[in-house]
Structure 1
Amino acid sequence: MSDALAYDVFAKTCPSRGTLEHVTGRWGGLILGALHEGTFRFNELRRRVDGVSEKMLSQTLHALERDGLVHRDAQPTNPPRVDYRLTPLGHEVAGQLLGLIRLVEGRMDRVLAAREAYDAEHEPVTGRTA
């Protein structure tokens, strides 16, 4: 399948679906966005992506590395030093993702207003008897 159009993320067996899940999952997008800023060591990245556990960071980095989006550079020093950076493909994906992130951040006033209106309209009525 050399033609990019030969892949269909809407087909359950398409391999692009797994990569999309890695990129858009809870932590994948945040990790890619952080790595777009530059090279990070593991703990630096963990601090940058506030709230991610060590286990989830490790699993997500592994998946993104496997997909060819992140490069892991282990240096034979004592103690060992491991740096993570985006590959050229990772930069492309992260750039697109950052556009979406900036769009969402820039519209949060509207989102919060919509949530407030929704919650007011759907507020549970208390004290009512059946």
Structure 2
Amino acid sequence: MLDDDRCPDCHRINEVLSRVGDRWSVLVVISLAEYGTLRFNELKRNLGISQRMLSRTLKELERDGLVNRTYHPTIPPKVEYNLTEMGESFREPVSSLGYWALDNLAKIDAARASYDADATA
């Protein structure tokens, strides 16, 4: 890592990566990138995530400027989410990460099985 004189904000990289790199944030961004605007329950259903965790993740993504939240005062109330301009700019790197994971699932499964077999031997 660079020292503080050459990169005064480098120590903050961990803070940013913790937010944008966590499991649910990545999956929410991928879903919104793929489908556009989604309601809360659509995201919940698509991801298989608990209501509490989705609510927390969306609030954090909104706070960081990656997700827009639009409240429609209808009966029942309707809340929709979509990516902001910054969220759209995050679309490519997060999609690359998702595709990398899909492309390597079999290798990861094999590595885990090998590791687990060695650990029990």
Note if 1:80 corresponds to 2:82: no
| Contact 1:19–1:67 under 8 Å retained in 2 | no
1:90-109 matched pairs, under 5 angstroms: 90-109=87-106
Distance in 1 separating the partners of 2:50 and 2:91: 21
Q: Which amino acid aligns with 1:49?
A: L
Query: Match for residue 40 of structure 2?
Result: 42
**Alignment size in residue pairs:** 114
SS at match of 2:120: coil
| Contact 1:40–1:83 under 8 Å retained in 2 | yes
Q: C-alpha deviations, 1:85-125, integer Å up to 9, x for none?
A: 0011101113211101101110111111111111121115x
Question: Relative contact order (C-alpha < 8 Å, sep 6+): which is higher?
Answer: 2
Q: CA deviation at 1:6?
A: 5.0
Q: C-alpha deviations, 1:56-97, integer Å up to 9, x for none?
A: 111110010010000001112222111100011101113211
Distance in 1 separating the partners of 2:38 and 2:51: 14
Note if 1:62 corresponds to 2:59: yes
Distance in 2 separating the partners of 1:17 and 1:107: 25
Flag the structure with higher helix content.
2
Q: Which amino acid aligns with 2:93?
A: Q
Q: Which of 114, 117, 121 matches 1:120?
A: 117
Unaligned runs of 5+ in 1: 125-130
RMSD between aligned alpha carbons?
Answer: 1.5
Q: Which amino acid aligns with 1:43?
A: N
Q: Which has the larger radius of gyration?
A: 1
TM-score normalised per structure 2: 0.85
Unaligned runs of 5+ in 2: 1-6
